Chains A and B, each alone.
Chain A
């Protein structure tokens, strides 16, 4: 599904160069649930951007479904993103001018002939538990609700790959586990998921775990028993502040 080979991304900061992602390699098979753990500023978001073709690598290559995205034209890459990839951004990125339901439908404007219909949007909103809030504008939603609208939006075009950048960041533990539950269901239905978090307690959901530290990506030895953990005793590693 995803093949990242020796990818480096550096940014020219003031005076010095920042290697946000440093020679990272990663493999995600079809139907996997991959978790990337790391401290703030370790380069997780940049890596996700590289995987989705939103960021052009300084060196190295990224393949999605066999396509080297460095070789795809802008249009083909956009097409690939619209049809195959659902992206949950770290900042929910809802359009303030549209109510929740319309926000969910925005990607359908970019994917002609896709499965996205109004009734499907309602189903997905129901699935993330927001049936009653479909007419609410983002400004009137709580941050957890916004995250869930953003997740619904990522799912509307029926992607085969879901990329989520801290979808449970700044949520209470119960809501966090509700979302993780949803992700696990989606994964069981066959969706490939790559998710970034800085909460090590979520490792139990993953079929494969990577840890990122100052741009370096490392594979944690598996296998990971996809076993449940009680929401209550998730207190181990103190997550970094945003």
Chain B
């Protein structure tokens, strides 16, 4: 044991003195921490879901060969689902059209896609699978759908596979005598992408050139030809304006533009409303708990007047006395804060397990990462500590200014 006395056992001794009241105070802090933490945690989860939702919405516009549109009767693909993948077709144009599209106002990103073929590979899926080429450098529609963010961009010899394709990540698959390593798998898209294997464009051209990949009757695939260019707009751009500008630039005889006609804005707004509600609840909790905690600190300070007077009479500097009173409150805040955050996490985990959360709000929750959780916990802790300091500062200050002798005399 230390030969000298230290402050901590002293503070603990003070706390042990009134277990009931101190537990109540700690509980108060726990409640504040839990409400702030779980509110922020759920918001972050919802925002994560929305963020992912937005990044998974795919392209804003699809530029396709005009012949394809003619075939579709001008209707284009089902525009109410995200454009992740171009539709399979044998109509192609050269990717150099991207130079033209890129000049349109409001275009912030472009990526070409190539439909290679559809083949039946029993080892990979019970139904035929589509084989696509994508450009790993510019792709922005496939990447957000991956189950796990990849460590590096798709390389030659690697593939991403749709959710319905069999085979472990990092295992090898065989397409017409070419071997590829699965570098990642997509979450379910409820679209053709679920049964698609995505190759890098270079590999796609090689595979296409291999005998037996394409049906003998099908037109050859020349390097540089693609089926579609997926276009993304900048945040400020208006879809109709961008679409019109692309139309103006690309030769109408060669390409057509398909726009996407839905967005996640309303959901995004819902989340913002939710965020307001959560913050309001947190604020109410804090406001309700604050006077309570202030009252308790005042009570504690009053009760300890004599003890504080004694310390001061024995040569305690004001700073030490302030520290003693504050640290007691801080210990309670820290204990309560940790308990509250733990309790909040536990509650969320329990609610999340049977999927209540997902059903309660029309949003997919993407729970914050360990790092984010730590930051949120830190935020809740700081809030609680701040409340502890502010609420006990005044009584502590007042008492540290009292004449020590009066304090000793009173209640002697």
Contact = CB atoms under 8 A, between A and B. Distances in A.
A107 B317 contact: no
B313 A54 contact: yes
A98 B319 CA distance: 22
Nearest to A116: B4
Interface in A51-71: 52, 54-56
B306 A93 contact: yes
A98 B315 contact: no
Contacts of A95: 13, 307, 310
B405 A79 contact: no
Interface string B1-37: 1111111011001101100000000000000000000
B5 A78 contact: no
Contacts of B317: 74-75, 78-79, 110
Interface string B39-76: 00000000000000000000000000000000000000
B311 A110 contact: yes
Contacts of B126: none
Report whether over half of chain B's contact residues are helix, strand or loop; otherwise say mixed.
helix
Contacts of B405: 49, 54-55
A117 B3 contact: yes
Interface stretch (A21-29, A80-88, A214-222, A227-235): A80-88
A91 interface: yes
Contacts of B307: 95
A193 to B, nearest CB: 17
B314 A82 contact: yes
Interface in A110-169: 110-111, 116-119, 153, 157
Interface in B370-412: 403-405, 408, 412
A153 B408 CA distance: 16
A10 to B, nearest CB: 14
B320 to A, nearest CB: 6
A106 B10 contact: yes
B3 A87 contact: no
B247 interface: no
B318 A74 contact: yes
A102 interface: yes
A133 B312 CA distance: 26
Say which size band chain A's interface belongs to.
Answer: 35 or more
A107 B314 contact: yes
B221 to A, nearest CB: 82
B153 interface: no
B311 A91 contact: no
B224 interface: no
B367 to A, nearest CB: 44
Interface in A144-200: 153, 157
B316 to A, nearest CB: 5
B315 A54 contact: no
Contacts of B412: 90-91, 93
A136 to B, nearest CB: 14
A94 to B, nearest CB: 9
**Most chain B beta-carbon contacts within 10 A, residue among A97, A107, A116:** A97
**Most chain A beta-carbon contacts within 10 A, residue among B6, B9, B14, B408:** B408
- Per CB-CB distance, the 5 closest pairs between chain A and chain B, nearest first, are A82-B315, A81-B315, A105-B5, A91-B412, A54-B405
28 contacts: A52-B313, A54-B313, A54-B403, A54-B404, A55-B405, A75-B319, A78-B318, A79-B315, A81-B313, A81-B315, A82-B314, A89-B408, A91-B408, A93-B306, A93-B310, A93-B408, A96-B17, A98-B10, A102-B5, A102-B10, A102-B13, A105-B4, A109-B5, A110-B311, A110-B314, A111-B315, A118-B1, A118-B2
Given A81-B313, A106-B311, A157-B315, 16 more contacts: A54-B403, A75-B319, A78-B317, A78-B318, A87-B314, A89-B310, A89-B313, A90-B412, A91-B412, A95-B13, A97-B14, A98-B10, A102-B10, A107-B315, A110-B317, A117-B3
